[in-house]
């Protein structure tokens, strides 16, 4: 069982995360995925909507 620390200070330096499940999650999140057709359509719609909102009223 670990030791309980009640006072003091310390520091920690993370040097690697690859061997831990968190490293696998980070690798998966960082991977660039090919956008799906729906994702591309939504991105296009968002750009059009942004342009429409930014235009001054006539």
pLDDT recorded at residue 4? 76
Residues 44, 36: Cα–Cα separation, whole Å: 12
Per-residue pLDDT tens over the stretch 23-37:
677 777 777 778 889
Tokens of 21: 């499940």
Please report which confidence band the pLDDT of residue 54 belongs to, taking 50, 70 and 90 as the band edges.
Answer: confident
Q: Tell me the average pLDDT of the chain.
A: 78
Residues 17, 24: Cα–Cα separation, whole Å: 8
Identify which has the larger pLDDT, 10 or 3: 10
Does this model's pTM top 0.75? My answer is no
């Amino acid at each position: 069982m670990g030791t309980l620390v009640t006072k003091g200070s310390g520091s920690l330096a993370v040097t690697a995360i690859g061997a831990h499940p968190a490293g696998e999650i980070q690798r998966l999140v960082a991977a660039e995925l090919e956008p799906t057709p729906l994702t591309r359509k939504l991105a296009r719609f968002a750009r059009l909507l942004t342009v429409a909102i930014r235009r001054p009223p006539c």
